[in-house]
A and B are shown apart, each in its own frame.
Chain A
Amino acid sequence: MAPDTKQPLVVEEISAQEAFEEIEGGVVLIDTREPHEAAEARIEGGKLIPPATLVATIEDAAPDKSARTVVYCRSGMRSATAAEQMMELGYTDVVSVEGGILDWQAIGLPVVTEAKLTDEQRNRYSRHTLLPEVGAAGQVKLLEAKVLLLGAGGLGAPTALYLAAAGIGTIGLVDDDVVDASNLQRQVIHNTERIGESKTSSARKTIEALNPDVEVLEYNYRLDSGNILETIADYDIIVDGADNFPTRYLLNDASVRLNKPVVSASILSFDGQISTFVPHEGPCYRCLYPSPPPPELAPSCSANGVLGVMAGVMGLLQANEVIKLVLGIGEPLVGRLLLYEALGTRFTELKVRRDPACPICGPDAVELPESELGAFPDYEAFCGGHVGS
């Protein structure tokens, strides 16, 4: 006996323009793409049925098998397959849109988008939105993000520049210092005309000229246990470019208390370190450095020097971490300490573990009164410190 030969089903295709006219008149419209694609742009009135669930759910979603049904996807391929599957299920009047939503948009037909970008923004951020990991939806997340930078100096300068370029919508800058010529070897957000001006004001001007989408908020005071909680409260992520240990410990204790991730880097000579601290998910700064070194073992850049590009390398690694955290993509440096050595151009990665005895984020940690945020449990080990100077 001859085997059954199945005649291949011929799927009828219509153009985007024809689809538009039919939709105006009233049809059942099926969108067979994935949710993140629909969030980017979709045709109004469509029911979203991703390909994997189509056969199982289409009969509930579109019970009338004789109704005129139009199926679309991104370019017309998945919708053709979907239409064929529906015909096999007994749908008698189903068509696929040739060229999909790409053709639809190419001829200027309207789409609904959850990602609200202006035309200028679509152009400005096109190199971001082209990346599948970002898209217009990701760019909106960047525009809605609020990032606070401790320090608008060596690390803060390049970080602020690139976060502004990326469209981080609100950038806070904490710095009470003024621009000095010796800063310009690395703090490229400032320039010769700004010497003598407040660093936050100078940074704000550069950022405003670079990207008008960014709002810059300036905080011209030193952080202490009395003001840190309210300073960081409204921000999503903190970038630590502080120039002294007391501030780093203070920021750590406050950020763990308020559950704020901190991207923390430091530079000296030809060396840089960076890690990302996400409270309770990974270690905190104290898990890594339970005690600060005495001053003679922690020289400053003004005493020892620092290669200017170190600020750029580590500052941009900080910006990279911030962007990954905002977008929720990639693998941030949680539980990892990345070291960069510029003379050999070598990266080294060390593991950082949560300290079970950590006085701030450990299971037995006691909630400190505000006045003790940043205080060292072992104060005697730290002599000659300059808290809040």
Chain B
Amino acid sequence: MPSVRVPPVLRQHTGGATEVAVEGDRVGVALEALVAEHPDTKAQIFSEEGDLNRFVNVYLNDEDVRVLDGLDTAVSENDTIMILPAMAGGSS
């Protein structure tokens, strides 16, 4: 099964899991499976219209899905989908 790598900022919503196995033959389907299992991850990943949020990057293995087919990008058995937010550390 493909898996989704969960960034630190979302791990609180996946029970601490850093990698979640999901079903899905498209990136969008796989991400929806993640959201179905862990609903609090939705806001980071999807906009209200159901597109990928502009401020989050999603990679299929090492390639940004924006240069592939976006949410329609095909996913195979051993692929890893990575959700990558920007970080800027520091003090609030």
Q: Which of the segments A5-13, A122-130, A287-295 contacts the partner chain? A: A287-295
Least Cβ distance of A267 to chain B in Å? 5
Number of interface residues of A (CB under 8 A): 43
Q: Of the 9-residue stretches A51-59, A210-218, A242-250, which lies at the interface with chain B?
A: A242-250
A378 contacts chain B at the CB level, 8 A cutoff: yes
The answer to whether A270 touches B88, judged by C-beta atoms less than 8 angstroms apart, is: no
Taking a contact as CB atoms under 8 Å apart, the answer to whether A291 and B55 are in contact is yes
- Interface pair B86/A292, CB less than 8 Å apart: yes
The distance in angstroms between the C-alpha atoms of A65 and B66, with both chains bound, is 68
Q: How far is the CB of A386 from chain B (nearest CB, A)?
A: 9
Residues of B within 8 A of A (CB): 7-9, 18, 43-44, 54-57, 59, 62-64, 67, 82, 84-92
A172 at the interface (CB under 8 A from B): no
A248 partner residues in chain B, CB cutoff 8 A: 88
Query: Known contacts A350-B59, A350-B62, A353-B67; is A268 also within 8 Å of B54 by CB?
Result: no
Q: What is A's interface to B at a CB cutoff of 8 Å?
A: 153-155, 242-245, 248, 266-271, 273, 288-294, 297-304, 306, 337, 339, 341, 343, 348-353, 378, 381
Q: Judging by beta carbons under 8 Å apart, are B87 and A298 in contact? A: yes
Q: Are B9 and A351 in contact (CB under 8 A)?
A: no
Report B-chain residues with C-beta under 8 Å of the C-beta of A339: 84
Q: By the criterion CB–CB under 8 Å, are A378 and B88 in contact?
A: no
* Cβ contacts under 8 Å, A343 to chain B: 18
B90 and A302: CB pair below 8 A? Answer: yes
Contact present for B55 and A266 (CB under 8 Å): no
Are the CB atoms of B89 and A267 closer together than 8 Å? yes
Contact of B86 among A154, A298, A353 (CB under 8 A): A298
Q: A243-B88, A245-B88, A353-B67 are in contact. List 16 more A-B contacts (CB 8 A).
A: A243-B89, A266-B86, A266-B89, A269-B8, A288-B86, A289-B86, A292-B55, A293-B44, A293-B85, A297-B43, A303-B92, A304-B8, A350-B82, A351-B62, A352-B64, A381-B55
Which residue of chain A is the closest to B84 with respect to CB atoms?
Answer: A350
Q: How far is the CB of B70 from chain A (nearest CB, A)?
A: 14
Whether the pair B54, A381 counts as a contact (CB closer than 8 A) is yes
B54–A378 CB distance below 8 A = yes
Complex Cα distance, B59 from A351, in Å, reads 9
